[in-house]
Structure 1
Amino acid sequence: MKRCDFVDWMKAVGMFLIVFGHFFGDPFDQFTQPVYPKQLGVAMFVFIMGWGLGKVTTKRYQISYNRLFPMFFWGIVIALFISVISFFVINDISESNYAPFVFGINVIFNFFPANPTTWFIGTYFHIILLWAIILYRINVTPFILCLSLGIEIFIRGYFIYDHSTFIAYMTLPNWLTVFLLGMYMCQQKDQDSSKGFFVGIIAWVVFLFLWALVLNEINVTRRFPFKNIQVSSDLINAVYTSIAVSFVYISNTLFSIAVFSRVKAGRIVRFFSRNTIIVFIGHMPLYFVIEPIVNLVFASGWPKRLCIVLIMYIGLSWVSEILCKAIKVDEIKKWGWGKLIHWVPILGK
């Protein structure tokens, strides 16, 4: 199989945006309003999910299992580790961290789990489940993309209007069009080219600055996980905000594809790409551990933030590399699949 370098680039850069976005706010937030920069990293991951599943039509249960297993395995390991530490430190097992593993039930609650990044595991499960049941047999067309976009904007807008912004962010419709866009582009004919790389970067940068100029002229309140565009009634504001969210997700994802599909991914990029799961799930718990230590050197400001980002992106990637070599997750995954199809033979068909 041909290796697609842009996949590694989007995973590595997407993970960096998530880590960076958790600890650097202004002036960077203005370029992605009404979402935050870290959410573009999640959009890149969801696009890659769709692209990876775009042409798959057989063995969907096994492929779904293979996708879910490492996310669930490391997610549960880290959740257990947090529970042990929390029990001895604050006499609390942080039980909300386990909600994503119960059929992704966390997405119906208007708050994040104790480990904030754990929310994505529930959404990830729902995306894979929807693909395995329905989407695997669909040839994505521009019409389907437009239909998805309309559904996405409507449902997200409803939850924003209902002041359930965490639900609006975590539920599957918030990410549906980006996922289908990945499937759609996978199902098209490849057009590999190294030309236009610098043009793509310049265009992306110009777009970000123009978007900031436009949104900075509008009253956008600083809320989370979405900022809120304030121009009219609550209903109109929710609709405008939802439209803007989809626009930012899709446009920046397309720019990232235009750039990263024109440059090779070397060993360093692939290193960060293959270690994204543990970094994604573990970087926020690690922050609470290392932040007091970093305070001894940098009390505040950008040097402190940069130090934390480097530790959690580079340092935690090395920890992930060591853990993945020490713990043979693929072998455990294969053993589990063998047991599963023995109990439920239909899954092997």
Structure 2
Amino acid sequence: MKRCDFVDWMKAVGMFLIVFGHFFGDPFNQFTQPILPKQLGVAMFVFIMGWGLGKVTKDRLSVSYSRLFPMFFWGIIIAVFISGISLLAINNPSISNYSPFVFGVNVIFDGFPANPTTWFIGTYFHIILLWAILFHRIHVTPQLLFCSLLIEIIIRSYFISNETIFIAYMTVPNWLTLFLLGMYMCQQKDQPNSKGLTLIGVLWAVFLVSWALVLNEFNVTQRFPFKNIEVGSHTTNAVLTSVAVSVVYLANTLFSIAVFSRIKAGRIVRFFSRNTIIVFIGHMPLYFVLEPIVRVVFPSGWPKRLCIVLIMYIGLSLLSELLHKWIKVDSIKKWGWEKITRFVPKLAKP
């Protein structure tokens, strides 16, 4: 129960950070530089992936299918919907939105698909694939985590140095240690503890403020998806930026685990937790549709941004809840697996 609570909290809060981060910038961006706050939401999801798969050793194909099916199902539906709207509006089918469904090929392009949040589907596919082939065999140790951290920093530095920062962001090495950390913590014995919540919350806030104060003393250029910390040569800047990215990912993820494992997840948290897929994939396309309407009431500023965040987070979650009641995705998923295993019986075996 303790683990389920913290997973629901991280999914709900992670999704809020992603939506909030798309529409609110400074002064919040300074607390997580050289990344943006919304990327912490993705970090939480990747950690949860590792935690959820940490003890799975059998039925890897069926587990992989079960994880990928909802993401692909809703992702393709939304991509088709966007294509229809785009064809009518600008005579452009937005073909790039389908690239994540072609073996995650989008991660090798130095840019996002037309629907920018769709990029994660390709990364998600690659992480699941690597888990099914390799990671499920691994017992994660602190030594392995340290090695993965070095690999992550080196590979990310290489792409940053080559000015392919979208590839640096989307490929698996950027998320490797977070995923393995999730597996590692899943493989450990539970230590339920509700004490120290206030202290940990204060320490987290102190870390965020201290990080902002330290990084604000450097020349941090505005770039996306990673800002660039400039202190010396091009290579030095790339390495330092990569190190800082890993520190922000890991430190904030660990703080979130420490906090949310001490708080009970109620009905509201579980509601937002189970509706993250549609909110994640659909909130940016919906923004482009609703922004002109919201602008009539709130021309600009924080009221406009807050209104948009509430619509994207709460409104889309409500829509997602309705869609899941109308469309029985689990039944479709089960039917699809039965069809697959009928043609390839070996897949049904552990």
Matches within 5 A, 1:62-73: 62-73=62-73
Residue equivalent to 1:112: 112
Query: How many angstroms does 1:295 deviate by?
Result: 0.4
Q: Which one-letter code corresponds to 2:282 in the other structure?
A: G
CA distance in 2, matches of 1:254, 1:179: 12
Residue 311 (structure 1) shift = 0.3
Q: Post-superposition shift, 1:322?
A: 0.2
The whole-number CA distance in structure 2 between the counterparts of 1:204 and 1:100 is: 35
1:94 maps to which residue? 94
State the one-letter code of the partner of 2:231: V
Contact residue 43 and residue 175 of structure 2 kept, 8 A: yes
Within 5 Å, give how 1:1-349 maps onto structure 2: 4-349=4-349
CA-CA distance at 1:215 after TM superposition? 0.2
Q: CA deviation at 1:95?
A: 0.2
The residue type paired with residue 9 of structure 2 is W
Q: Name the amino acid aligned to 2:270.
A: R
Secondary structure of 1:55's aligned partner: coil
2:31–2:211 CA contact under 8 A, matched in 1:
yes
| Structure-2 separation of matches of 1:341 and 1:146 | 39
**Secondary structure of 1:229's partner?**
strand
* Matched position secondary structure for 2:112: coil
Residues 2 and 334 (structure 1), Cα distance of their counterparts in 2 relative to 1, 3 Å cut: farther
Paired amino acid for 2:185: M
Residue identity in the other structure for 1:127 = I
- Residues 210-254 of structure 1: CA distance to partner in whole angstroms, max 9, x if unpaired? 000000000000100000000001100000000000010000000
Is the CA contact 2:2–2:192 (under 8 Å) kept in the aligned structure 1?
A: no
Distance in 2, Cα, partners of 1:61 & 1:47? 21
Q: CA deviation at 1:3?
A: 5.9
SS in 2 for 1:318: helix
TM-score if structure 1 supplies the norm length?
0.99
Matched residue SS, 1:4:
helix
Q: Give unpaired runs (5+ residues) of structure 1.
A: none
Per-residue CA distance 1:56-100 (angstroms, 9 max, x = gap):
111011000000000000000000000000000000000000000
**1-structure distance, mates of 2:124, 2:111:** 17
SS at match of 1:332: helix
Q: TM-score, normalised by structure 2?
A: 0.99
* SS of residue paired to 1:181: helix
The whole-number CA distance in structure 2 between the counterparts of 1:265 and 1:61 is: 31
Provide the rounded CA distance (Å) in 1 between the counterparts of 2:128 and 2:187: 18
Change (3 A) 1:220 1:111: same
Deviation of 1:346 after TM superposition, in Å, equals 2.0
Q: Post-superposition shift, 1:2?
A: 7.2
- Residue correspondences, number: 349
**Letter aligned with residue 220 of structure 1:** V
- For structure 2, the 5+ residue unaligned runs are none
How far apart are the structure 1 equivalents of 2:209 and 2:50? 29
Q: Distance in 2 between matches of 1:232 and 1:292?
A: 44
Give the superposition deviation at 1:345: 1.9
Q: 1:334 & 1:125 partners in 2: Cα distance?
A: 19
Question: C-alpha distance in 1, partners of 2:167/2:338?
Answer: 36
Tell me which amino acid in the other structure corresponds to 1:111.
G
Mapped to 1, the partners of 2:339 and 2:132 lie a distance apart of 20
Measure the CA separation in 2 of the matches of 1:319 and 1:230: 44
Q: Tell me the amino acid that sits aligned with residue 286 of structure 1.
A: L
CA distance in 2, matches of 1:326, 1:2: 31
Runs (4+) of structure 1 moved beyond 4 Å? none
Output the CA distance in 1 between the equivalents of 2:348 and 2:157.
40
What amino acid does structure 2 have at the position aligned with 1:342? Answer: R
